[in-house]
Amino acid sequence: MHPLIPTIFYDSSPTTLGIYTILCGLFLYSASKMFGFGRNQFVVQGRTVVITGGSEGMGKAVACQLAEKGANVVLVARTESKLQDAVETVKGAAAEAERQRFHYICADLTNAAECDRVMAEVTEWNHGQSPDIVWCCAGYCSPGFFAETPVQTLRDQMDTVYWTAANTAHAILRRWLVPITPSQQMPLPPRHLIFTCSTLAFVPIAGYAPYSPAKAAIRSLSDTLSQEIEMYNGSRADKCRSEAPATDVKIHTVFPMGILSPGFDNEQKLKPDLTKKLEAADKPQTPIEVANIAIKALERGEYMITTMFVGDVMKGSALGGSQRNSFIKDTFTGWLSNLLFLHVSPDLRRQAWSWGEKHGVPGRRRE
């Protein structure tokens, strides 16, 4: 027996050795996915990227980093002055500014017709070609307790968080998924639709009642689209089919925690003190950090992307039927998370009860 080979490999049956081989294969596959040893699955050089909410915060940071990688960038937001400043910043970050192209569009994405207009304008600007990547970053958080928040604020949050993303997704997918004949088809890399969600979609926290349901809706939409899109991708597998979409489409969702931005500063002014206490484990990241982590995960081909360990644990507690990034990592994180949340979930309710006992009912916002 060779001294460097464990005894178990000599004594095991073929079935046992087969199981060890499969487990080793799964481990190596998961390691390659986790640490990015595979090919880049999110190539942006020379491709056109639309970023909604791109005038500040995470959206602007994403735009700068994709410009550094050679992308042509279109920013979409409501305020023209912010867009003008942001485009200049993005140009300054470009890998080859003389070859890359940059554009901005003012639009209210809560209006579905405006989203259709944006995609039509981008397509015209892009020499008649639809954008290759659309990243939804629009939206802001208006925290508060549900019963103390005006109904109009609840509706506004659903509009600015969920409907901006849903309208944008609908507008671009209606273009991407149009069937074309084989004679029109050219070899193209996959297109990408990316949603920006929040870990609150996994673990709601008291004080985010206007915001969390809208983020949970985005997560549900993303999970649904990750299945539906495979029908269109599958239609391209039959080479004899008369018509099919031009290329595959990939769906992704990013789940950051707190992000240090102008929007975050305003959020802190409105946030109940109880909420600040409950989310003490959330150490806000800079927009640059979040964008960098998210882009690296996209390059690894991940579907559900978190940006820090606490977010990983929150995701693990609520994976449900969502697509996994890594069979081994997500399984073990799920086990760990469910054990931890045997304590965390009751503790959140206990802290809320104790807060009410000490401070009484909260003040109510004016209608």
Catalytic positions: 211, 215
Q: How buried is residue 362: exposed, middle or buried, by Cβ count under 10 Å (0-12/13-18/19+)? A: middle
Give the residue among 178, 39, 60, 166 at the shortest CA–CA distance from 110. 166
CB 75 within 8 A of CB 59: yes
Q: At what angle do helices 112-125 and 164-176 cross, to 10 degrees?
A: 50
Residues in a beta bridge with 193: 134, 251
Give the residue among 336, 274, 287 at the shortest CA–CA distance from 309. 336
Give the residue among 103, 134, 164 at the shortest CA–CA distance from 298. 134
Q: Cα separation of 77 and 97, whole Å? A: 22
The alpha carbon of residue 139 and the mean position of all alpha carbons in its chain are separated, in whole angstroms, by: 13
Q: What is the DSSP string of 341-354?
A: HHHHHHHHHHHHHH
Note the residue count of the chain.
Answer: 367
Classify 367 as helix, strand or coil: coil
Question: Which amino acid appears at position 18 of this protein?
Answer: G
